[in-house]
Amino acid sequence: MRRNPRELELLHRRTGRRALLVGGLQLAFAGALVLRMRYLQIEQADQYRLLAEENRINIRLIPPTRGRIYDRNGVILAQNRQSYRIVIVQEDAGDVEKVIENLGRLIPLDPENIESALDEMHRSAPFLPVTLVDQVAWNDMARVAANAPALPGITPEVGLTRFYPQREVFAHVVGYVGPVSDYDLSRLEEPDQVLRIPRFQIGKSGVEARREDLLRGKAGARRVEVNATGRVMRELDRQEGTPGADLQLTVDTDLQAYILDRVKGESASVVVVDCETGDLRAVASSPSFDPNLFVRGISVADYRALMDDPYRPLAAKSVQGTYPPGSTFKMIVALAALEAGVITPEDTTFCPGYLDVANRRFNCWKRSGHGRVDLLKSLEQSCDVYYYSVALKIGIEKITEMARRLGLGYKYDLPLSGIAHGNTPTKEWKKKNYNQEWLIGDTVNSAIGQGFVLASPVQLAVMTARLATGRAVTPRLIKSINGIEQPDGAGDPLGLNENDLRVVRRGMFQVSNSRRGTAFRSRIAEKTLLMAGKTGTSQVRNISAAERASGVIRNEDLPWERRDHALFVCYAPFEAPRYAVSVVVEHGGGGSTAAAPVARDVILQALYDGTPPLEAYPERDRPRIKAQQERLSRERARRDAGKRDRA
């Protein structure tokens, strides 16, 4: 069909407009594309170059070296030592199970560790190393290295791990480290990225945990070139981190080790405080445990054995345990009454062996009574009735006020785990916690350190140091940080009447040095080092009226867990106090028989800075003390030999 010329002209005109429109659109698109390319390649070149570099270069953290911990004499308590381990790279090994089987023919393998390693391999990239065996002996390392051609993918490595050379001696003080857990990370709002390094160790208890901020240090970094799959091709740059701070503690290794040997076989705690500085020379809890067991994860069997022990070796009894202070609380009641002016040292009370208060009979520990006693005799012979009477005159509020001035009911700022607050009760406290009114019987019970009154061994040691000095002595555990001395705990004067303090101190002196004193058998014979102290016995069971009438069952005839706690506090020398000591023997029976001998031996060990001469002991005790010293010397020699063998 032929088109007329007019239709052809119209068609050509319409086609030309469309071509121009399409061409214009194409030109505009090309122009926009050119402009965009110019923008990306020239104006944004630096930004995209950086992004490309980040895809090619990774930053890897370098774990910092953990700070060391020393005792006051420079003895190492926590250190880092080389640790050998065997790792496997899955893709290099090929048949992983076959390689592990061959490895097992060379060195012993723990099935649990191997199973854990296989699980980790399934979660990790095939080119990442996974630890098969940790803390490998040098002989085993050499055996693996010699057979390397037959063990594809297996590599022996050297790293650092925490080690506690004193083992159980400072387990409750220094604590221990362990691998970072999900629970550890959940407690932190913004966890440090170094905590995500596999098998990185942090403090779990004791100084290791409480001063993690100082001991950990700051991580370093290395820049590495990686390929598209994330494999490291080469290291480009390295910046070492900042090592953790070295800490020097106030404790004395020899004294602490002696204490643990001395109370071996008991569930006990002993605290020694320097009266001049507040330094904690010893903070011992028995029995103890080897913290090295926890560093790489304790076995189920070992952990169950520690948990099932009725003597609770994992508990830091010296700071975590709280006990009725018993008669060691009587100095507080006496001072409160003297300061309030409700008694004088010469005032006397008649003790028939009991006191009837509000239709209830409160008994003295001595069934026949002490007769007429004044303040000095009440402390010397620990008469309960005297303090029942005094407490009724003064009331619980003033007793509690004095207890707090002397350091009870206070949570000290020490870098230790689970420090107990103790309890110094008031009427308001009972109403708040029990929704009950305070009873007169509560005051009478508190007068002899029973009822609601609770104190920890470290609080009792501080109380004794404050009584000895008249100053607000505060316990100190960290002596220096990276060699920089920390403030001591000498404290300011308490503002107590010096004459009142002299009377109470004299009563404590007679406890240890008067023939009728409750701790006379545990006195110090050296005249320049005479000791002042106070016995205490705290009940853990109720004694019925029927049992009292027929005769109270002796502690040795009761099951261990129902026996009384034995306590003793002391300081020496009497004229110029250097050390204050508190001893608590759980279910030990009487303070005079179970705790006082330990305290006497410990304070002499501290005063002589080593084994005391036999002349420091009463003559009748010297054969027994000599045998004891020889036994403890042999035990220490065996322990030191064991340390050398394990090292």
Q: Measured in Å, how far apart are the chain's first and last C-alpha atoms?
A: 110
602 contacts 262 by C-beta, under 8 angstroms: yes
Positive or negative, the Cα torsion across 102, 103, 105, 110?
negative
Closest CA to 475 of 314, 610, 318, 584: 318
| Look-up of token digits 């070992």 | 302
Task: Return the structure tokens found at 328.
Answer: 């060691």
b/e code 32-46 from CB counts within 10 Å (16+ = b): eeeeeeeeeeeeeee
567 contacts 586 by C-beta, under 8 angstroms: no
Helix (H, G, I), strand (E, B) or coil at 248: strand
3-state secondary structure 531-595: CEEEEEEECCCCCCHHHHHHCCCCHHHCCHHHCCEEEEEEEECCCCCCEEEEEEECCCCCHHHHH
Catalytic residue among 269, 285, 327, 456: 327
Q: How far apart are the C-alpha atoms of 538 and 282, rounded to whole Å?
A: 23
Closest CA to 259 of 619, 646, 579: 579
Closest CA to 282 of 541, 435, 461, 160: 461
Residue 327 known to be catalytic: yes
Vertex 294 angle, CA 290 and 298, to 5°: 105
Vertex 308 angle, CA 171 and 256, to 5°: 25
Helix (H, G, I), strand (E, B) or coil at 358: coil
Q: What is the DSSP letter of 42?
A: I
**Dihedral of the alpha carbons of 13, 14, 16, 20, in degrees to the nearest 10:** 140
Vertex 359 angle, CA 353 and 364, to 5°: 20
Q: What is the DSSP letter of 389?
A: H
Positive or negative, the Cα torsion across 324, 326, 328, 332?
positive
What is the CB neighbour count within 10 angstroms for residue 305?
A: 13
What is the CB neighbour count within 10 angstroms for residue 627?
A: 10
b/e code 455-480 from CB counts within 10 Å (16+ = b): bbbbbbbbbbbbbbbbbbbbbbbbbb
b/e code 125-142 from CB counts within 10 Å (16+ = b): eeebbbbbbbebeeebbe
Which amino acids are annotated catalytic?
327
